[in-house]
Amino acid sequence: MTSHELPLGRPVDYPRHYDAGLLFPIARTLGRTALGIAADGTLPFAGRDRWHAYELSWLDARGKPVVDVATFSVPADSPNLVESKSLKLYLNSFNATRFDSADDVRVRIAADLSEAAGAPVDVRFGLPPMATEANDVIDVDALDVAIDDYGPPNAAYLSCGEDIVEQRLRSGLLKSNCPVTGQPDWAEVRIDYRGPRIDAAGLLRYLVSFRDHAEFHEQCVERIYVDLLARCRPERLSVEALYTRRGGLDINPWRGTPGLAPPVEVRALRQ
């Protein structure tokens, strides 16, 4: 089934009652096969997909509305990702449904997302703090470069020198498009590595070459990770994208060298 054939690309009725069947899992192998990642479960990275839900509401036992925010963390080695529009519809199905307690809601969401993803999903109320930028982060967007390539993603721009460095790079210029709806997805990319020095201008051109590309958030981050790994051979690599919200949700996929601790959870200014 192609992305254009998915039911998520069609108009749908607003959900009136809780319905776990609204969640639409998509096999991760669909995107990973194109990246040359083996289908046997052997991954070149560790990772997680961290969702922030800003529009979560339900009714208490007496029918009074409750509102909250929540963070969901889906392991990158789960068989499936969950499509964002389906997650929005699913969360909206809680709006007119009564629950005895907030923990009942948390447990129900965790069970449903775990079933859809095929692996345990952590659910907790609350959001990470806003990021405070460290002085040693290099903003590649400040480079004065001419760019005229907006897709498809072109890994040929990536190159590195011979000196070994530890660097943290960021760019707020990542844009791709949803393969289901065609809507734009915007993100800040954070790259932390140790290895041959990455050419910053080439990295910027590479990230901008996603601009007209249609791919899910998680797949874009895995593509960036795999391309950097192949072109620059870092000893340690961490790639995280902090996507802006759409439909009351944002997603923050992270992929890193196996065994590497995840980055501290934060939100970007545009989130």
* Residues forming the active site: 178, 185
101 is in an annotated binding site: no
83 is in an annotated binding site: yes
- Name the 3-class secondary structure at 3: helix
Tokens of 192: 């932390």
64 is in an annotated binding site: no
Whether cis (ω within 30° of 0) applies to the bond prior to 44 is no
Whether cis (ω within 30° of 0) applies to the bond prior to 152 is yes
β-sheet bridge partners, residue 198:
160
82 is in an annotated binding site: yes
Are 6 and 24 a contacting pair, CB within 8 Å?
Answer: yes
**Whose structure tokens read 């501290």?**
264
Are 255 and 189 a contacting pair, CB within 8 Å?
Answer: no
165 is in an annotated binding site: no
Helices (H), 66-159: 84-92, 102-117
> Among 188, 191, 213, which Cα is nearest to 202's?
191
Amino acid found at 19: D
240 is in an annotated binding site: no
Q: In angstroms, rounded to a whole number, what is the distance separating the alpha carbons of residues 75 and 69?
A: 20
> Among 262, 256, 265, 207, which Cα is nearest to 44's?
256
4 is in an annotated binding site: no
- Name the 3-class secondary structure at 34: helix
> Among 107, 51, 103, which Cα is nearest to 75's?
51
32 is in an annotated binding site: no
**Whose structure tokens read 């990536």?**
158
Which residues sit in the known binding site for substrate? 82-84, 217-218
Which residues sit in the known binding site for NADPH? 84-85, 246-247
Which residues sit in the known binding site? 82-85, 217-218, 246-247
